[in-house]
Structure 1
Amino acid sequence: MEIEKIKPPELWAGIECSINRVNDRFTDQLDLGNLYSNDFLEEVFTLNIKKLRFPVLWEKHQPFKHQPADFGWADKQLTKMKAAGIDPIVGLLHHGSGPAYTHLQDECFPELLASYASQVATAFPWINFYTPVNEPLTTARFSGLYGLWYPHKTNDAAFIKMLLVQLKATVLSMQAIRKINPAAVLVQTEDLGKTYSTPLLSYQANFENNRRWLSYDILCGRFNEQHPLWDYFGRLGIEPASMYFFLNNPCPPGIIGINYYVTSERYIDENMLSYPAHTHGGNGIHSYADMEAVRVPAAKPDGPAVLIKEVWNRYKIPMAVTEVHLHCSREEQIRWFKFMHDVVLNLKQQQVNILAVTAWAVLGSRGWSSLLTGQTMEYETGAFDTSAGYPRLTALGRHLQNFGTSVQEHQPLSLLAGWWQKNDTGTQLCKNILPAA
C-alpha cells in the first residue's frame, strides 16, 4: 500500500502593522514606512502566498468615536487581494489600546471594538478570517505589567484586567462578525514562549508557564475553578462574573496562530551578577535576571518543535505559525525561516495539524529594537527592503519565492546551522536580542 505523502505547509505572509501608544504618542508602522501611499502589494503577491495577515486597524479607520469608519484605503487593498486569490486574515487591533477615546482599562472597550468589527464585516462580508486582537496576553504584559505601553501600569491586577478586556472584545467582535458572516474564522495569535529557571525560582517559572496559556484557555472555556490560576485572579480582586462570562460564551479559535521568536524562551536566575544589567528584575520576593534561554547553556530550552506540540496536545485545534521573523544578517534570516519551516514539516509528519508558516514583516518594521517605546526607530528588513521608498527584494524574499521548490531545498545558505543552533550562542551578538522586560 502506498504511503500517503504529507502535504507541505502553506506559505502565508504578514505585514508588521502595529499602532501602539506610548503616553499620548501613537506610532503607526504603516505610516512610518509610507505604506498608505505605497502599499507594494503586487510585490508581496510575487511571494506566491496563500494568505496575508493584513491590518484594518481600529485606530486608523475610526479615530473619532461618533463618526463611521472610513474604509477607503482598506477597500482598495482588500480588492487587490481578492482579485489575486489571496485570503486576507484581517486584524483589527495590533498591540494597540484603541483610538484616543478609549483604552485597555475602559469597561466599554469590548463593545466599542465589537461595533467597529461589525462595520468591517458589513463593508467586507466576503472576508472569512479575522484576528480581532493580536497577542492579547503579550499586549497586556507590556501595557499592564511592564509599563512600556499605554496606559503604563505595572501591577498584576491591571495586567489581568487588560487581558480580560481584550479577550471579551475578541468574543464580542466575533459574535458581531458572525451575525454578518456565520462562516467567519477566528485566527487567534499569541506569542509562544516558555520559562526555565534555577531551582530557587522554579515557582516563578511554573507560574509563567501556566500564565502563557491564558489567552487560549480563557477563549476555549477552559478557565474554571480547577485552573491553576483561578485563585490568582481572585486574589487580584477580579469579579467572578468577569471570569464566568467566558465559560458562558466560549469562543475557541478556528486556527491557533503561533508566534515564536528566538527570544521567546526565557531563563531566570537569581545570580544576577552573571548577566547584563538590563536583564535584572524580580517579582517582589526574589530579584533575578531574565535572559534569553538560547544564550544560557544551563537552560537547555526545548525549542519550537516541543512547544508547538504542547499547544497541539493541549487544544487539538488546527494551528499555523503566524510570525516568523529574525532581525539579523540576510544569511541568518534565511536559516531561521528554513529552520521554522522544517520544524513545521516534521510536526506535520507526526500528524500534528499545522497548516502554514508565515513570513512576518515582509515589508520590514521599525522600532522593535526598543520595543516600540520610541527610543530608536531602527529599520529591520523582511522579504523586501523598503527603506529607500521602493520594495527591493532581499535574499530572504528570493528564498520565499522558491518556497517548496528544489531551488529552495538546495540553497547553500539555508543548509548551514543558524547561530541559535551552535554551541557558542552565549557569545553571539546578533541584533535580534531585545532587552528583557
Structure 2
Amino acid sequence: MTTATGPAWYADGRFHYGVGIEDTFIPQERPGHRKLDLYELTQHYDNWRIDLALAAQSGAELIRWGIPWYLTEPSEGRFDFRWIDEVAETLDQLGLRCVVDLMHYGTPLWLENAFLDPRYPDRVARYAGEIAGRYRGVFSDYTPLNEPMVNAEWCGYRGGWPPYLSGDSGFVRLAMILVDGMRRSQAAIREADPGATIVAVEAGFQWTGDFGPGRPKDFLDEWRFVMADLLFGRVGADHPLRPYLLTHGARAEQLDEFAATPVLPDVLGINYYPGFTRQGFDPATGSSFPVEAGRAGLLEQVRSYHARYGLPLAITETSRPSAEPGEKIAWLDDLAAAVAELRSDGIDLVAGFWFPMLDMFEWEYRFDTRPLDDFRIQFGLVDLVRGPDNRLQRIPNRAYRHYQKLAAAARDGGAVAD
C-alpha cells in the first residue's frame, strides 16, 4: 500500500478499527508437545483469500497479520517469499493497511535452542530488514515482536516453549535476548524503509488481591512493564526492578546500554481481554486465575500506559470469547464507549483491533492429545464451523455485522445509533 501524503494514519486525528488473524507459531515438537501453528490449525493457509476478504468487508482499515518466519526462511539465509508476495498483493488490492507481525513467539527450526542460539539477535534483525526492504511501498507498519512479556514468560519462566527455561533467571535471560533482538530489528526496518511505522505490542497483565510472598503484588505491578521499560531505555540506576534483573543474570553494562540508547515505537499497542487480562491468586493452589474486569479494566489499562509512556496508543488485541454473539456485541459497545471516553480525556488512542477475527484454538492443544476441536475458543466475529469434509467454514455472526456499523461510523467520524 503506497504511503499517502499528509500525516501518518496514527496522527490524522481519527480512531481506526482493525482486525487480526491469530498467528502463533511454535513449530518445534518433542514428546508431549505438539506443533502449534495457528494458521495451520485454523486452515488459514488454505483460506487466506477468504479470510482477508472478510477482513476488508468488515470495514476494518487495519489488519494485524503475521509472517511465519519458520516457513519464510526455512534454512538459514534462504528465503521463500512466494506466498508472502501473494498476500501482500492481495492486501494492497483490498486496501487493508497491514501491521505486519514479524515475530509471534516462535523461531525457525534451524536456530539451535531457539532464542538461546547466539545467532538469534542478528538473524531476526536480518529477517526484519529483508521483509521491510522487499515490501517497501506495500507494507509500511511493523511489529518486531508480539507480546515480549508473554514470550519471555512462556519461553523463559514457565518452560512451556523453546528453549524451555524456567524461573526468574530463565525469564531475565530470555528478556535480555528478546529486547536485544527487538532493538536490532527496529534498526534494520528503519534502514530498509526509513518511513516505516513501528507498532510495539504488549500484553500488560493486571493483578488484583494478594499474591505469594515470592511475587508480591507490588513486584508484579512493576514486572508487567519490564519489557517495555527495557526497550524504551527506562531501566536506569533507580529503576525498582534493576536489582531483580541484576540478581537474575542481566549484565549492568547491557542495562546501561539499553538505557543510554532507548528504542521507541511510533505507536504502543496494548492487548486487553476483559475476562482474562486481570489475574487473581489462589493461595490454596499457588496459581493465578482470570478475573472479569470489563470496561473498567480497559480504562485502567489505557490510562496506566498513557501515564507511564505518553506515546500514541492502540488496543492491538481485544475480544470476548463466547458462543453467544450478543456478548461480543456488548463488548464492542463497551469498547466504543471506552474509546470515546478516553479520547475525550485527551488520551491519544488511535486504533482498536478485534483479535482474533476468526475463532481460534487454545495453546493448551500443544500439551495434550485430545482432538483439535476440543480446544476451539469462540473469539471470532467469524465462526469456524467444521464440515463433514473436515474443512472449516467461515461464517460471519451477528457481531461481525455490528462491527461493520462501528467501523463505518468511525470512518465517517460519527457514532452508531441504537
| TM-score, normalised via structure 2 length | 0.85
Aligned counterpart, 2:3: none
For 2:376, give the aligned amino acid: Y
Q: Whole-Å Cα distance in 2 between the matches of residues 403 and 98 of structure 1?
A: 39
Q: Deviations over 1:247-288 (max 9, x none)?
A: 243211111111011211112243x2xxxxxxx22xxxxxxx
Task: Please state whether the residue corresponding to 1:36 is helix, strand or coil.
Answer: helix
Aligned counterpart, 2:83: 73
Aligned counterpart, 2:7: none
1:154: how far off?
Answer: 1.8
Q: Whole-Å Cα distance in 2 between the matches of residues 117 and 390 of structure 1?
A: 33
Cα distance change, pair 106–200 in 1 and its aligned pair in 2 (3 A): closer
Task: Please state whether the residue corresponding to 2:26 is helix, strand or coil.
Answer: strand
Aligned counterpart, 1:91: 101
For 1:35, give the aligned amino acid: H
Q: Which blocks of at least 5 consecutive residues in structure 2 are unaligned?
A: 1-11, 387-391
Q: Deviations over 1:164-204 (max 9, x none)?
A: 21111111111111111111122111112211223885961
Q: Whole-Å Cα distance in 1 between the matches of residues 268 and 224 of structure 2?
A: 14
Aligned counterpart, 1:312: 306
Cα distance change, pair 155–15 in 1 and its aligned pair in 2 (3 A): same
Cα distance change, pair 304–375 in 1 and its aligned pair in 2 (3 A): farther
1:23: how far off?
Answer: 4.4
Task: Please state whether the residue corresponding to 1:399 is helix, strand or coil.
Answer: helix
Task: Please state whether the residue corresponding to 1:225 is helix, strand or coil.
Answer: coil
Cα distance change, pair 135–195 in 1 and its aligned pair in 2 (3 A): same
Cα distance change, pair 302–224 in 1 and its aligned pair in 2 (3 A): farther
Equivalent residues of 1:196, 1:301 under 8 A apart: no
Q: Deviations over 1:49-106 (max 9, x none)?
A: 1111111131121121142x11111111111111222211111110224434241222
Does 1:292 pair with 2:309? no
For 2:252, give the aligned amino acid: P
Moved over 6 A (4+): none
1:9: how far off?
Answer: 2.3
User: Which moved further from structure 2: 147-156 or 109-118?
Assistant: 147-156
Q: Which blocks of at least 5 consecutive residues in structure 1 are unaligned?
A: 1-5, 273-279, 282-288, 412-437
Aligned counterpart, 1:432: none
Task: Please state whether the residue corresponding to 1:385 is helix, strand or coil.
Answer: strand
Equivalent residues of 2:210, 2:216 under 8 A apart: no
User: Which moved further from structure 2: 358-367 or 306-315?
Assistant: 358-367
Cα distance change, pair 216–210 in 1 and its aligned pair in 2 (3 A): same
1:308: how far off?
Answer: 1.0
Does 1:323 pair with 2:317? yes
| Amino-acid identity (%) | 23
Equivalent residues of 2:55, 2:63 under 8 A apart: no
Q: Whole-Å Cα distance in 2 between the matches of residues 405 and 134 of structure 1?
A: 28
Aligned counterpart, 2:385: 387
User: Of residues 348, 355, 362 in structure 1, which corresponds to 2:350?
Assistant: 355
Aligned counterpart, 2:196: 184
Q: Whole-Å Cα distance in 1 between the matches of residues 15 and 319 of structure 2?
A: 17
User: Of residues 41, 61, 71 in structure 2, which corresponds to 1:60?
Assistant: 71
Task: Please state whether the residue corresponding to 1:303 is helix, strand or coil.
Answer: helix
1:346: how far off?
Answer: 0.9
For 1:147, give the aligned amino acid: G
Aligned counterpart, 1:400: 403
1:304: how far off?
Answer: 1.4
Q: Whole-Å Cα distance in 2 between the matches of residues 66 and 73 of structure 1?
A: 17
Aligned counterpart, 1:284: none
1:362: how far off?
Answer: 0.8
For 1:392, give the aligned amino acid: I
1:385: how far off?
Answer: 2.0
Equivalent residues of 2:204, 2:270 under 8 A apart: yes
Cα distance change, pair 186–357 in 1 and its aligned pair in 2 (3 A): same
Q: Whole-Å Cα distance in 1 between the matches of residues 108 and 232 of structure 2?
A: 24
Q: Whole-Å Cα distance in 2 between the matches of residues 156 and 306 of structure 1?
A: 27
Q: CA-atom RMSD, angstroms?
A: 2.5
Cα distance change, pair 357–340 in 1 and its aligned pair in 2 (3 A): same
User: Which moved further from structure 2: 48-57 or 241-250?
Assistant: 241-250
**Residues matched between the structures, number:** 385
Q: Whole-Å Cα distance in 1 between the matches of residues 215 and 362 of structure 2?
A: 33
- 1:187-206 equivalences under 5 Å are 187-198=199-210, 204-206=216-218
User: Of residues 13, 33, 43 in structure 1, which corresponds to 2:42?
Assistant: 33
| TM-score, normalised via structure 1 length | 0.82
Aligned counterpart, 1:339: 334
Cα distance change, pair 32–346 in 1 and its aligned pair in 2 (3 A): same
